[in-house]
Structures are given as C-alpha cells and as structure tokens.
Amino acid sequence: LAEFRETRAAQDFFATCRSPKLCCELTLQPLRRFPLDAAIIFSDILVVPQALGMEVVMVPGKGPTFTEPLKEVEDLLKLRQKVDVTAELGYVFQAITLTRHSLEGRVPLIGFSGAPWTLMSYMIEGGGSTTMAKAKSWLYRHPEASHRLLRLLADVITDYLVGQVAAGAQALQLFESHAGHLGPEQFQDFALPYIRDIAQAVKSKLKEEALPLVPMIVFAKDAHYALRDLARAGYEVVGLDWTIRPQEARAQTGKDVTLQGNLDPCALYAPKEKIGELVKKMLEGFGTQRYIANLGHGLYPDMNPEHVGAFVEAVHAHSRHINKH
C-alpha cells in the first residue's frame, strides 16, 4: 500500500518494528482500505533471533541480513541462554495492546512467531537462501547442536506467544516458512517435534496464567508430506500454500481442523473478474465451514491494491452465496 510505504519511508525496518505506535498504524492501514475479518500485528519473525542477541539489519534490495551468522557449534555459546521476553520483546507486546485498544473490538487481532527450524535456517544462512545448504548441513553434521538450538528457540517462542496473548492477541500463528527445504524425515526429526511442543507448552502456560486459550494456526509452507501430522499437532487451524488442492488437503487433515488458504498470490495479477472466478472455485473446493479464506503466501510489493480488494469482496460474496444455497 502507498500509505504503508509512506509510513515506513522515514526509518529503518527494525526501528519501525520497535515502535509500538508505528506497528499499530501499519496494522490498521489495511483495515481502513478493505473489509477484512481480522488484523495481524505488524512485526517480523526475526525479532526472536534479535532477542537471543543476534544483530539483524534490513539491507535494501537484499532483505534481512545477519551481521554475524552462526558458523560453528561454538557460536551457540554467544546466544542468550535465558531470554526475558518482556525485556527483549516488550515493544511487540506494547504494539499488540495499543492495536487491540485501537481496534475497539471491530475484528480480532492475530499475533505470530516464526517456528524454530525457519528461524534456525536464517540464523545460520545469515539471510535468505534458495538451498538452505548451510543450515541443512548442520542437521546432518551437528544433529545434537541443532536440537540444542531448536529447543532454545522453542522455549523463547513459547514465552513470546504467551506474552502476546497476555498483551491482547486473540489468535496466534506459527510460520514454518522454510518447511519445504526439508524432506519428510528431517521434518519429522527437526521441525515437527518443536511445532508440537510449542502448541502444548503455550496452551498449558495460558491455563496456568489464567489467560484465554486462543486458537492457534500453523503454516508450514510446501509441507504437503506432513499435513496429516500437522493436523494432529495441537493447532486448531492448518494453513496451506497454493500447491495443494482443497479436497486433497481436507482428505488428509480430516474434519476437526480448520483449513486456511490457499489462493496463489500471483492470481492477484489477473484481471478482477478472473480473481472472482478463482475465488469461487477455491471456496467451492473448501466449503465455507471450518475454513478461513486467505492467500497461499504473502503479497508482493508490486501488486495492485484494487486487486486485493477484489479478492476480499469475492470471498465475502461467494461465501454468502454458498451459505444461502
């Protein structure tokens, strides 16, 4: 959005993430434009490695970059072994509380975190990568150290997500964005156990602290091979990317979980009428119950906001039509 770019222009990306006021403003902007059914807090998954003591900068044209990625197992000793999430990530909690008040109950507010494997891969690669070869080599060469790092991340993420609920988040999403770089066996060993643990630990801590048991969403991109396991991992919602048919996903996940997804983001480059047809087909595939309409991944900077509007309108129109008939 033009207003997003304007708000962001004044300062560094992570400085923006650390400003509760700006995060609130950036969270509300899409809601002023579109009749969306929920808001997701403006932040970034890499605030967790920052909380562990790593430096991450946003390099124009390149994306997030770690000044000193993890190279050797000994580098794990440089990480904070105990993280006080309120001290390190309190700015996210403040942004959530401020946004929740500003929303005045119009729509629910979603909090989120990156999942352990995805964060680990960034911390070792030092940024984006097409192969994740450095991070994956750790899984093969240093399995014990990898598990140590993943456990540390899972513990911090758990506290971070619980803190988001205490601050006012009404649902939580865990992003395992780099699941597609793992095969089924590595996913079983290095991703799924921590995804499960986080759901279980968050729910038990919410109970202990007498906080609301909010719905949790897991999104593991390109992990079709793990859909059955993800559906039984303790999350109410399983997010899907655009590379799987709705009927197939439903067959694998069963009737008890809600599915979220999964229009190809690039479909928004199509003419508006075509977007409407694609949305109709998607909704007919998923049905309107236990389903959250969404894209199968994020928006790209050059997309036309009017086409995003066409997507949202089509979802509402076709849902109403299906429910009526």
How many whole angstroms separate alpha carbon 224 and alpha carbon 302?
28
Q: Could you say which DSSP state residue 209 is in?
A: T
Residues paired with residue 174 on neighbouring β-strands, in sequence order: 113, 218
Q: Could you say which DSSP state residue 222 is in?
A: T
304 prior amide bond cis, ω within 30: no
For residue range 35-58, list pLDDT tens digits in order. 999 999 999 999 999 999 999 999
For residue range 13-35, list pLDDT tens digits in order. 999 999 999 999 999 999 999 99
Within 13 A of 106's CA, how many CA atoms are on the CB side? Answer: 14
- Asked if 107 and 37 count as a contact pair (C-beta separation under 8 A), the reply is yes
Residue 15, amino acid: A
Tell me what pLDDT residue 182 has: 98
Token readout for 153 is: 């991340």
Kindly report the number of other CB atoms within 10 A of residue 12's CB atom.
11
For residue range 151-165, list pLDDT tens digits in order. 999 999 999 999 999
Tell me what pLDDT residue 61 has: 86
Token readout for 108 is: 């629910």
Token readout for 142 is: 């240093």
Give the domain ranges of the chain. 2-239
- Asked if 96 and 109 count as a contact pair (C-beta separation under 8 A), the reply is yes
How many whole angstroms separate alpha carbon 4 and alpha carbon 155?
33
Sign (positive or negative) of CA dihedral 263, 278, 260, 40? positive
Q: Which residues does the chain have with pLDDT short of 50?
A: none
pTM: 0.98
Residue 108, amino acid: P
For residue range 220-234, list pLDDT tens digits in order. 999 999 999 999 999
CATH number belonging to domain 2-239: 3.20.20.210
How many whole angstroms separate alpha carbon 76 and alpha carbon 296?
34
* Distances in whole angstroms, Cα of residue 136 to Cα of each of 73, 85, 198, 236, 312: 14, 28, 22, 29, 38
- Asked if 282 and 250 count as a contact pair (C-beta separation under 8 A), the reply is no
- Angle, CA of 166, 12 and 300, to the nearest 5°: 80
